[in-house]
Structure 1
Amino acid sequence: MRTTKLASRAMARLALAGLALGLMALAGLALWSTVANQRAADRIGEMNEIGDRWGRIQQKTRIEEDALDSFVRGGSPESRNPLASAVGGADDDLEWLQNRGDAADIEAARRIRQTYVTYTAAVREVVALGERGDLASAALQADLGAFAASSLQKQISQVVAGKRNQTTQYLLEADQSNRKLRTLTGIAFTIDVVLLGLCSLILLENQRRIRRQAAQSHHDALHDGLTGLGNRTLFTEQTERAILSTDRSAAPIGLLLIDLNKFKEVNDTLGHHVGDLLLRQVADRLRTASREVDLVARLGGDEFAILLPGIDGVANATAIATRIHDALCSPVDMEGMRLEVGASIGVAVYPHHGATPDQLLQHADVAMYAAKRGRHGVIVYEAGLDRHNTAQLTLIGELRKAIERDELVLHYQPQANAHSGEICGVEALVRWRHPQRGLLGPADFISTAEENGLIEPLTYWVLNNALAQCRTWLDAGERLPMSVNVGVDCLQNDEFPAAVSESLARYAVPSEMLTLELTESAMISNPARATAVVRELGALGIRLSIDDFGTGYSSISLLQKLPVHEVKLDRTFVTRMGSDDTDGTIVRALLELGHGFHLQVVAEGIEDLDTWTTLDSLGCDVIQGFYLGKPMPAADFAPWLARHRTAAGATLATDPATPVR
């Protein structure tokens, strides 16, 4: 395409250059012709004037000759006077020719003037003799003059004839030159006409190409380059038009705002190429699931929108949104992988939920985030959702102050050896003693902290307080390894390993007693930097654990690249393994995978004895869950631990072979 454009431009420039040269040549020929014609006219004028001079000389000498002949025949005084008047009449013209004629004329005038001087002298002698009455001598002298006149006329006639021939020859040459000029002018004109036609064709083609490019540019300005869907600009324009049409027809319009779930995880883990392929497949599904009259647009990233003109109302828009949600929740086959992405959809309807495109988008956005938070799939906007957003903003400010005011508290959930039931560690879980709302669990504020840059200071608070408690237990003779969850931002901070090392030293806790739990999402936002940070942590002797193992796409890759000590099976698989054969199969596979990498496997979400027993039989190393013990404050943990050990002692006394459960 680019080569064709360059060739077209080169041809256009060449044609324009040729046309310019042709016009210059035509102008040059016209100027040349004008100058040549002017010169020819001037030369012909000069030749005509010279010819006229020679003609007058010839005429005047003939008059003199005729007057002389009349005097000779008559001899009367009356015939003498005309002769006296005519003699010497050619002197002025001969003098002019000698002064202003060309070289040949000057020479001829000089020669003829010599003869003319002799002739006029003889004629004047005849007149003088006649005046004295010597007619005999006058007659004799007249005969001599007649002889001279004959010679003079012969010379003059030759010159006049030569001038005529010269003029004729010059005119012929000038005509030939003009013919050549006319031929060259005709050729130049023809070439210019051809080049003008070629330029016209090229200009027409350029205009067509410009129109095509303008149309393409207009299309590109209103469409997404990756998916071919409309973009935000087109969507806003069409929404405005739809609202104007709705005002006339009174038919509601719907607006769906769609955000993909787990897209960032797919994009960061499997690469942008797979992410782009996924977006194209999502776009195809949206086209297929929507109606022909609907406008599907990609607003940016993994955010899509659909304009629903001519709907019956909110229920109709919700039904369409549900159908689209179902289409997006179906697994996607992507280069040999089966991905489950899903989506959250917010619904807003005009005029119920807004009077302008911006209001509809804003309210659909509020509904979409509500759907994402609650994992509801589809939510229709309502005024209460705005109040929730206001509460969320308030929560951010309160959480920032809570960290500063030490309103947070740690609860500790025990972990036990899956076979013996012996307590082998605890996980520190943060709670928030909110002044108005009471005790809040992690689900109420952790995501807010992650989204608003508070997860790093929150992680430092948890780490320091957990290590302080670990030191307290060590001083009391209890060696309980501590697990702490690490926030996303911490693994992007090159100074985090040094901060952890400083905290370990401050509380004099051996590094092997600290386990940092990492999630895939924390690793994949910037894998290179996160990997470097994790390796530094491993070099400190800290134990590293992959949390929610099996829920992402890069678990195996993390096991290969990082100095990991354990993996924690996600609670969703463990909780359902007794009732869902698929989850049971997944748990067994993950156990084998973890042990294949020589890692300790921790199962969380143990809600009953059967699950614990099954996991023990499968070779699970450590269990954690409500059946063993709920998260509890440090003050409650010591009594609980004592009761657990008492129960264990009683069990061992009764049947030493029975595990404590």
Structure 2
Amino acid sequence: MTTEYEKERLARLRKLDLLDTLPSESFDRITRMASQLFELPIAAVSLTDQDRQWFKSRVGVEHWEIPREKAPCGEVADCADVVIINDMLASDHYKDSVLAESGIRFYAGAPLVTRDGFSLGAMCVLGTEPREVTEQELAALQDLSSMVMAQIELRHAVGRVDSGTGLPNYLQFVEDLEDLARDYPDKAYFALSTELVDLSEASTLQRVMGPSYLEDLSIAGSQLMQEVLNDETRIYHIGPGQFAYIDSGSRDAVLKQAKELQQALLSIRLQDTSPFMLRPVVGVAPFKLGVNPPGNILRIAHSASRDARSKEEAVGWYNKASDQSHQRRFGLIAHFAEALKADDQLYLVYQPRLDAVSGECVGVEALIRWDHNQLGAISPAEFVPLVEKTPLVRELTDWVLRQAIHQAAQWHREGKKLTVSVNIAAANLDEKGFCDRLLGYLESAKLPRSAIELELTENSLMKNSRAARQQLECLGASGISLAIDDFGTGYSSLAYLQNIPAQVVKIDRSFIDALEEEERNQKLVKSMISMTHDLGYRVVAEGVETAAAYEMLQQLGCDEVQGYFFAKPLPQRDFQHWLDARR
């Protein structure tokens, strides 16, 4: 053995990140098999460190390590060959060793050799009586050592270690927690999730800084974390710029160290990276081993880090209420996908739109409602904004359009020439064939195109994609009325008004509230009505709730009104009663 060989051997051992790691069932199975096969009380997977033998797995041994000096496994590592000691007391070298003094008489060890020829330690079996070894047993021991090495290589090669940082990854985090729970069930720990940058900005960072930026940042972050945290802390690389570790200290000590870590991570500099790009946060979540699955433990720690980021704090403590709120939102999206396929959850209600002068009902706005069979009534203010951020928004709009057209056709057959307004999202304008599909629905229902009006917010109309422009041009040319919804709350730019083929402007309810009391509101609404009239739009006021506001809108020349003063959104049958009573 040369000094250079030992240096390289130790380097490979440390790179595998096995020393001082948690027990692992995958290694323990092999160790139990060795003990049973040889009918011996003691078996171990022993790794030879610089001055100690550390047991990754052991049967029949209480301690985790022994000195390397006069340890037979050290000889196995040195010679990279099988070592058999039939009787330690008969050996001049081992008779006064730690093992012999503890009552061990027999030892057999086969080397754990890497593919490039470095021996990491031994797969060994030990007994308290002198013993011989048969050729079959020797072959079995070598097979077992090969199984251990295969497991080591598997853990390192198949997604257990991140190639960039050299740290164990998410899969290893899960396995380590499972193993820890077996040894220390119900023990209290803290899971800490560290996020170097806001992951919602990751694509922008890569575009500006280059595709290797996050990987380089992760490497720099991992090195700094290893310097800040103590040697016993095992750090896991969970994702780009994301790390996790567990701690069993007191709450105050854990929080203190988390804050120190966050401050240290602020010092990372890569190339000419501006400091504002680096925004590290740390999330802390308490848990008990065996109570929650490892994936959920990491999730709640990540939830704490996201709370820290949203509150612009360095460290976030897990908040159950906040987590449940996010969980509910995620669950609602999953439930909504099911609701679209069901026939007893989603339905439409209709809020009347009246001519401001005559008071005649000239149309309705179709609004979706959701009555979940377990969660009960879910407000559209809660679920619609969530759905609009997913591809489900296209299915949502399609469902509403088909239901609204079906109802409009029924009213037209009854002689009620009502225009039904339907809200659509920006994503609908990016759909190829959206306009043609809508026209097809109208044709199948034998409805005139004036029977449907589409409402879009200012923000959605500001999208400037080619598909959106094509759909708007198609809708405008087809004769379908377009309304600008929530006017005054978005961009409110006069430039876009001249480019949008809309016919109606709906003034947002925030301007109508307290209209009769606030002179500023009156001037704003008067200006909006005058300006949009000059541009050729009809004006609808939303959120009319008092007679005084209605009268003032009439005086200001508003064309149509809707709001609780006239009627709340009503199911079809209730709307029919309201309409009959009004007539």
Relative to the length of structure 1, the TM-score reads 0.45
Task: Measure, in 2, the Cα distance between the counterparts of 1:551 and 1:297.
Answer: 41
Report the Cα offset of residue 520 of structure 1. Answer: 2.8
Equivalent of 2:510 in 572, 575, 595: 572
Shift of 1:527: 3.4
Distance 2:269 2:551 in 1: 52
State the match for 2:453 in structure 1.
515
Which of 356, 367, 384 matches 2:307? 367
Q: Corresponding residue for 1:384? A: 321
Is 1:536–2:474 an aligned residue pair? Answer: yes
Q: How many matched pairs?
A: 343
Post-superposition offset of 1:433: 2.0
Please state if 1:399 is matched with 2:339.
Answer: no
- Whether the aligned pair in 1 keeps the contact of 2:304 and 2:319 (CA below 8 Å) is no
Deviation of 1:382 after TM superposition, in Å, equals: 0.8
Which residue does the alignment assign to 1:612? 550
Distance 1:297 1:519 in 2: 42
Per the alignment, residue 280 of structure 1 pairs with none
Deviation at 1:555?
4.1
Shift of 1:473: 1.2
Q: Partner of 2:364 in structure 1?
A: 426
Quote the residue 2:171 is aligned against. none
- CA pair 241-352 structure 1, distance change in 2 beyond 3 A: farther
Cα distance in 2 between the residues matched to 1:379 and 1:574: 41
| Structure 1 residues 370 and 426: CA distance shift in structure 2, 3 A | farther
CA apart distance, 1:635: 0.7
Counterpart residue type for residue 323 of structure 2:
D
The residue type paired with residue 386 of structure 1 is D
Q: 1:597 aligns with which of 519, 535, 557?
A: 535
Once residues 399 and 557 of structure 1 are traced to their aligned partners in structure 2, the CA distance between those partners, rounded to angstroms, is 37
Q: Conserved in 2, the CA contact under 8 Å of 1:246 and 1:253?
A: no
Cα distance between partner residues in 2 of 1:405 and 1:614: 45
CA pair 232-505 structure 1, distance change in 2 beyond 3 A? same
Q: 1:385 to 1:601 in 2, by over 3 A?
A: same
Give the C-alpha shift of residue 590 in structure 1: 1.9
Deviation, 1:576, is: 4.8
Corresponding residue of 1:444: 382
User: Structure 2: how far apart are the matches of 1:425 and 1:369?
Assistant: 46
Structure 1 residue ranges without an equivalent (≥5): 1-222, 258-290, 309-347, 373-377, 646-661
Q: Deviations over 1:495-538 (max 9, x none)?
A: 01111111111111111121111123323344332121011011
Q: Kindly indicate whether the alpha-carbon contact (under 8 Å) linking 1:370 and 1:379 is maintained by their aligned counterparts in 2.
A: no
Distance 1:224 1:452, change over 3 A: closer
Alignment partner for residue 462 of structure 1, among 380, 393, 400? 400
For residues 153-206 of structure 1, the C-alpha deviation after alignment (integer angstroms, 9 at most, x for no partner) is: xxxxxxxxxxxxxxxxxxxxxxxxxxxxxxxxxxxxxxxxxxxxxxxxxxxxxx
Deviation at residue 296 of structure 1 after TM alignment = 10
CA contact (8 A) 1:366 1:386 kept: no
Q: How much does 1:386 deviate?
A: 2.9
Deviation at 1:235?
7.2
Q: Select which of 410, 422, 425 maps to 2:348.
A: 410
Quote the offset at 1:568 in angstroms.
0.9
Equivalent positions of 1:219-618 (< 5 A) are: 237=220, 241=224, 245=228, 251=256, 253=258, 306-307=279-280, 349-350=283-284, 362-364=302-304, 366-367=306-307, 381-406=318-343, 407-553=345-491, 555-578=493-516, 580-618=518-556
Partner AA of 2:374 in structure 1: Q
Distance 1:601 1:495 in 2: 29
AA aligned opposite 1:396: I
- Secondary structure of 2:498's partner? helix
Given candidates 607, 617, 642, the residue that maps to 2:580 is 642
Deviations 1:319-378 (A, max 9, x none): xxxxxxxxxxxxxxxxxxxxxxxxxxxxx65577999xx879832564379889xxxxx9
Bigger share in helix: 1
Question: How far off its partner does 1:589 sit?
Answer: 2.6
- C-alpha distance in 1 between matches for 2:326 and 2:526: 42
- Give how far 1:598 is off: 1.2
The structure in which a higher percent of residues are strand is: 2
Q: Distance in 2 between matches of 1:609 and 1:628?
A: 9
Does the 8 A contact of 1:471 with 1:509 survive in 2? yes
Deviation readout 1:524-577 (Å, 9 max, x if unpaired): 344332121011011111111111112222642332112210111122222254
How far the C-alpha of 1:421 sits from its partner, in A, is 1.9
How far apart are the structure 2 equivalents of 1:447 and 1:365?
Answer: 24
**1:452-481: CA deviations, max 9, x gaps?**
211111111111111111111112221111
Query: What corresponds to 2:568 in structure 1?
Result: 630
The CA deviation at 1:587 is 2.4
Q: CA deviation at 1:396?
A: 2.1
Segment of structure 1 superposing worse, 379-388 or 391-400: 379-388
How many angstroms apart in 1 are the aligned matches of 2:269 and 2:391? 31
Cα distance in 2 for partners of 1:641, 1:379 equals: 54
When the two structures are superposed, what TM-score results if normalisation uses the length of structure 2?
Answer: 0.51
> Per-residue deviation at 1:420?
2.6
**What is the rounded CA distance, in whole Å, between the counterparts of 2:207 and 2:392 in structure 1?**
36
Alignment partner, residue 559 of structure 2: 621
Q: Matched residues in 2 for 1:411 and 1:498: separation?
A: 26
Question: What runs of 5+ residues in structure 2 fail to find an aligned partner?
Answer: 1-204, 232-252, 289-293
Provide the C-alpha distance between the structure 2 equivalents of 1:403 and 1:389, rounded to a whole number of angstroms.
Answer: 22
- Offset of 1:241 from its aligned partner? 4.0
Q: Give the 3-state SS of the residue equivalent to 1:445 in structure 2.
A: helix
Q: Kindly indicate whether the alpha-carbon contact (under 8 Å) linking 2:353 and 2:561 is maintained by their aligned counterparts in 1.
A: yes
Structure 1 residues 7-53: Cα deviation after superposition (integer angstroms, max 9, x where no partner): xxxxxxxxxxxxxxxxxxxxxxxxxxxxxxxxxxxxxxxxxxxxxxx
Return the letter of the residue paired with 1:367: D
Structure 1 residues 607 and 352: CA distance shift in structure 2, 3 A: farther
Structure 1 residue 443 displacement after superposition: 1.6
- Cα deviation for residue 427 of structure 1 reads 0.3
- d(CA) in 1 for partners of 2:354 and 2:372? 31
- Give the aligned residue type for 2:465: P
Q: 1:360 to 1:637 in 2, by over 3 A?
A: closer
CA contact (8 A) 2:283 2:302 kept: no
Q: Separation in 2 of the partners of 1:420 and 1:297?
A: 69
TM-align CA RMSD: 4.3
Q: Does the 8 A contact of 1:418 with 1:623 survive in 2?
A: yes
Higher Rg: 1
Q: Contact between 2:545 and 2:563, CA under 8 Å: does it hold in 1?
A: yes
1:232 deviates by 5.8
Kindly tell me: are residues 428 and 370 of structure 1, through their superposed partners in 2, closer, same or farther at Cα, counting changes over 3 Å? farther
Alpha-carbon separation, structure 2, partners of 1:246 and 1:579: 62
Shift of 1:293: 10
